[in-house]
Amino acid sequence: MSDLWRLSAADLAALIRSKQASAKDAAADALARMDAVNPAINAVIDFRVADVLEQADAVDAALARDQAVGPLAGVPVTVKVNVDQKGFATTNGVTLQRDIVAASNSPVVDNLRKAGAVILGRTNCPAFSYRWFTTNLIYGDTKNPHDPTLTPGGSSGGAGAAVAAGIGAIAHGTDIAGSIRYPAYACGVHGLRPTLGRVPSFNAALSDRPIGPQLCAVSGPLARTIGDLRLALLAMAARDARDPWWVPAPLEGPPMPKRAALCVAPDGLETAPEVVAAVIDAGKRLERAGWTVETIETTPPMRAPAELNTKLWLGDSFEAQLAAAEREGDPGALACLRGIRPRVFPFDSDTVSKALTRRVTLTREWQLFFERYAVLLSPVSGELPFPDQLDCKDEASFARVWEAQLPQIAIPFMGLPALSVATALVGRVPVGVQVVSGRFREDLCFAAGEAIEAGGTPPSPIDPVH
């Protein structure tokens, strides 16, 4: 059976479980698709054919013994190169880490494997996963399949490009300030940033991270359908004792009225007309699906949490990060750190104490907001996807990029879940919306996302545009 790579994860897993297709067929088809399109987009930067086929054979062998193989039975997925996969280097897009080879899998990789997924390959990210653009000195540039002059997003740019081009039905990504949601937005697919504590995280090959990344960074899925995001979260969220932040919260919470708040300019964001139109259109789709949608002038604070997230993420050990970037010599990483320095430096224990105290206040305010509304509908970004490498052009462009990303940077500080839903194309440029809900209410994000998705999404998977 050919063109298995076109199928959703749900449909492909059903075919494999019913033995109408084999996991090996799906793996071979995915490898062929990768061979056909990856040279144009450079999304997957490390893979081993023999290992992929061996994983698929194991799924088929289990099915032959009538053993349960999990919800992702034989589904090819990709994982980002900043998480541990046994036998592979955890480079995070950095030449300095090319010899850090993982001796074990991260929890998210283990959970995907336990769910029956076949790990197809590792996807590209910017050096140190700092940016909303994806290029580095070890693997080179990743291109947006819709338009190579646009960013594919970052830091999970390889993940977004891979899913959009049909390299795997699901991609793993990580998100500390939009690194799942923005690649999904830029590449015309969907991406979920789960609640802090939902998906277990740990890299044995690297040192534990400072408190800021611990509080704000999560792993999550990108996919072409909301249904596949549901499946992926089910797999990724399984317990792993290695992550002290993991919470045994149910994937389905108590019912809430279908009430959404819609805000096109949260906390004074200057939003492009095309993005405003996308958010308003998404609100109309929700109304047609039976939701009550209330337009609000602004949301609970976004600028304060965005500033504090940035400070905790990049300010902690700033000088050490800058020194590492200088040793690496990556222009994008250096532009990021040098451009952001005035916002995060100096950094001391008083800074941390005040940030964590403020986090409690802000999280409470947002949680009370979600007592009134099931979800918030907002822009993912204030602009359509940027021209590639815009943040390296000059100081004004750097500031423009960071300002537009306000809705992405703010949400992680409260540990909230957020879903990027692709809705349309403006010419050949993808656009979409962000759906946010209360902690551990990914189910409400999905419910709204499916109603929005039903109104239309960009065509996917696609052949890359040259």
Which residues are designated catalytic?
80, 155, 179
DSSP H or E stretch at residue 107? helix 107-114
Cis geometry, peptide bond prior to residue 155 (ω within 30 degrees of 0):
yes
The structure tokens listed for 411 are: 């949400």
- Tell whether omega for the bond before 346 is within 30 degrees of 0, i.e. cis: yes
DSSP notation for 230-284: HHHHHHHTS--TT-TT-----SS------EEEE-SSGGG----HHHHHHHHHHHH
Q: Which residue has the tokens 């200088």?
A: 326
Count of Cβ atoms closer than 10 Å to residue 105 Cβ: 22
Q: How far apart are CA 203 and CA 406, in angstroms?
A: 28
**Rg of the chain in Å (alpha carbons):** 20
Q: How much of the chain is helix, strand and coil, in % rounded to 5?
A: 45, 15, 40
- What's the longest Cα–Cα distance across the chain? 61
| Alpha carbons 225 and 453: distance in angstroms, whole number | 8
Cα separation of the two ends of the chain: 28
Question: How far is Cα 334 from Cα 402, in angstroms, rounded to an integer?
Answer: 15
The answer to whether 386 touches 332, Cβ cutoff 8 Å, is no
Neighbours of 148 (CB within 10 A): 16
* CA gap 133, 149 in Å, rounded: 12
- CA dihedral for 402, 202, 180, 447, sign (positive or negative): negative
Residue 210, classified by CB atoms within 10 Å of its CB into exposed (0-12), middle (13-18) or buried (19+), is middle
Compute the distance between CA of residue 433 and CA of residue 224 in angstroms, rounded to an integer.
15
